[in-house]
Chain A
């Protein structure tokens, strides 16, 4: 099936070249980071995780969101999603590429990464995170590839794939749960120390992941001869709506607990994000933008009349995707560290090199996604013809 990825028109090659250029630039800056150290980032003694780890957190959600097409199709026999399950699985693979690469670029000593496997430490959540992320990558590769190949040959996928499909469903939940456990089990970091963190992560994942999928489906319909289908997109839109409601509801629960209890340790981080603390508040405009985008997206998604309009739906999905990215990709990690354990406020903002490296990481994932989708669409076009 790989031949589909090689055959393409001019636009396709232009896109690939563009991605390769981004990867090249990102890699160059990464070499600089390797030489100098993580000092070229905005990270500090107080805010020791930032942009890189935030991308891990956000993209784990997108990867987990893929299950929202797999589950209805395989568990509820919702036939319509059969057309797009492979798109969900391949999106999960690309998202996992971001996750794993983000962990690597975040390491101070990437050359020693195998120490995690040499000195197995089951008491560390990070160890489990590598297990679930790599496991999910493997599951999606196996399932996506075999199902697509079967579709091409006009056969049913082999029976042995079935257990992997079923396993991938709880596994999707596990990747985001374990990623939330990285944060919510740490004593003294009150912003993260909340049992609702994992559910909230999942809710935002099940909104943001399918939202990206909707955008990709609309794009595929435009640039190829394969139509993912109107019904499919509309069902995804409903899933997104419910998940977004849950996400905002969970956030409301957080606000209530923090501010009604009036416990400073719980309020400070949220205050820092939305109003600033001790005169520091670089994230304030971002956080309000994030909330505004998510609420607006919801207002567009709830009424059937706007949701059924694919143009409006695309706008809502984009707003939601960006809003959730700011929330998880910028706010969530920084705010956990500000104020610091000694209640000092030292702020964080990613630096240009950090952003360029991250763009490089995303470009690699986009390349993987392009190749995978090219194959999937190629097969679908061939079968339809």
Chain B
């Protein structure tokens, strides 16, 4: 039964070639059997499309560092110390899920303004995976190792990824990192609630699915002192929608049609 249903879904998936991968990928993903982070308890937080609003006016360099640190320690993201591996290698092998950049880097298409407010020019802008509505990374992946869940989160299956890095070429936000070497010796303290990765696979922000599953807010949201809001973008009564109604917000590279779910208050 289960097998024939799967087969059918695959065939319809083939017929739907060219359409968004979201539906097929989502269904196939649900078929993958038990996975620790897709299990839903009573306390699990759920949504139709998770999203974030980042209030950049409230984030200075220290806070940005604290947020980044919170994410990276929670998810066993390695740090290649330039003093140990050398600055060039540290840069090449770098892995980051959320990081600080400038306005003109975050908003490449709309950011070239010669006469910018100095304050905005120096303000840190946190960038991360946008959990796009129509994610080009999932479209590119030849194994469904990266896929969009029913709640809108774009996630990685580290055990299936073949390391072809097509998704990295496809992501127009530079959100993905590749394990060019074994990351484990470079993790300061391993968080046992989330797996470490092996060399040769891609990784990125997972919207803290493992925390949402137990009713906790994403680590970056928790560390942000209220500067980052998360919630269901498709629920008009959600807090995030209220914030969006009240503020002027923008998203990165909207002209590409990816539909980013991360919004910025400037």
Please give the residue numbers on chain A whose beta carbons come within 8 Å of chain B beta carbons, in ascending order: 36-39, 41-46, 48-49, 103, 106-110, 112-113, 115-116, 118-127, 130, 182-183, 186-189, 264-265, 336-337, 340-344, 346
Closest to B94 in A: A45
Contact at A121–B144, with CB atoms within 8 Å?
yes
Contact at A108–B178, with CB atoms within 8 Å?
yes
Query: CB within 8 A of B163: which of A108, A123, A125, A340?
Result: A108
- 30 sampled A-B residue pairs with Cβ under 8 A: A37-B180, A42-B92, A44-B92, A45-B93, A107-B163, A107-B200, A108-B164, A108-B165, A108-B200, A108-B201, A109-B201, A112-B161, A115-B162, A119-B145, A119-B160, A120-B10, A121-B141, A123-B18, A123-B19, A123-B139, A126-B140, A127-B142, A186-B136, A187-B258, A188-B173, A189-B169, A341-B172, A342-B173, A343-B104, A343-B105
What 11 new A-B contacts, CB under 8 Å, besides A115-B145, A126-B140? A36-B181, A38-B178, A39-B180, A43-B180, A45-B174, A108-B163, A109-B162, A119-B160, A187-B136, A187-B256, A337-B169
Taking CB atoms, residues of chain B closer than 8 Å to A127 are: 142
Contact at A188–B106, with CB atoms within 8 Å?
no
Question: Interface of chain A, helix or strand or loop or mixed?
Answer: loop
Complex: how many Å from CA A299 to CA B95?
48
Contact at B162–A116, with CB atoms within 8 Å?
yes
Number of B positions contacting A (CB below 8 A): 62
Q: Does B44 contact A (CB under 8 A)?
A: no
Contact at B181–A45, with CB atoms within 8 Å?
no
A-facing residues in B19-40 (Cβ within 8 Å): 19, 21, 24, 28
Least distance between B83 CB and chain A CB atoms (Å): 17
Least distance between A37 CB and chain B CB atoms (Å): 4
Taking CB atoms, residues of chain A closer than 8 Å to B143 are: 112, 115-116, 118-119, 121
Closest to A123 in B: B21
How many inter-chain contacts with C-beta < 8 Å in the A-B complex? 166
Q: Does B79 contact A (CB under 8 A)?
A: no
Complex: how many Å from CA A344 to CA B264?
21
Please provide the 9 A-B residue pairs with the shortest distance between their CB atoms, ordered closest to farther: A108-B163, A188-B172, A108-B200, A39-B180, A37-B199, A44-B92, A39-B181, A124-B142, A342-B105
Question: Interface of chain B, helix or strand or loop or mixed?
Answer: loop
Taking CB atoms, residues of chain A closer than 8 Å to B112 are: 264
Contact at B160–A115, with CB atoms within 8 Å?
yes
Complex: how many Å from CA A340 to CA B21?
25
Taking CB atoms, residues of chain B closer than 8 Å to A39 are: 89, 92-93, 180-181, 199
Complex: how many Å from CA A250 to CA B160?
39
Complex: how many Å from CA A80 to CA B192?
70
Taking CB atoms, residues of chain B closer than 8 Å to A346 are: 91
Taking CB atoms, residues of chain A closer than 8 Å to B138 are: 123
Q: Does B187 contact A (CB under 8 A)?
A: no
Taking CB atoms, residues of chain A closer than 8 Å to B165 are: 48-49, 106, 108
Contact at B171–A341, with CB atoms within 8 Å?
yes
Complex: how many Å from CA A344 to CA B170?
17
Q: Does B249 contact A (CB under 8 A)?
A: no
Q: Does B168 contact A (CB under 8 A)?
A: yes
Contact at A340–B174, with CB atoms within 8 Å?
yes
Closest to A182 in B: B166
Q: Does B101 contact A (CB under 8 A)?
A: yes
Query: CB within 8 A of B140: which of A106, A130, A186, A341?
Result: A186
Q: Does B13 contact A (CB under 8 A)?
A: yes
Contact at B142–A37, with CB atoms within 8 Å?
no
Taking CB atoms, residues of chain B closer than 8 Å to A110 are: 162-163
Taking CB atoms, residues of chain B closer than 8 Å to A189 are: 169, 172
Complex: how many Å from CA A37 to CA B199?
6
Query: CB within 8 A of B200: which of A38, A48, A116?
Result: A38
Q: Does B242 contact A (CB under 8 A)?
A: no
Taking CB atoms, residues of chain A closer than 8 Å to B140 are: 124-126, 186
Least distance between A134 CB and chain B CB atoms (Å): 14
A-facing residues in B79-131 (Cβ within 8 Å): 89, 91-96, 101, 104-106, 108-109, 112, 127
Taking CB atoms, residues of chain A closer than 8 Å to B172 are: 186-189, 341
Taking CB atoms, residues of chain B closer than 8 Å to A115 are: 142-143, 145, 160, 162
Closest to B127 in A: A342
Complex: how many Å from CA A183 to CA B181?
26
Contact at B257–A109, with CB atoms within 8 Å?
no
Contact with A along B2-20 (1 / 0, CB 8 A): 0000000010011001110
Contact at A122–B14, with CB atoms within 8 Å?
yes
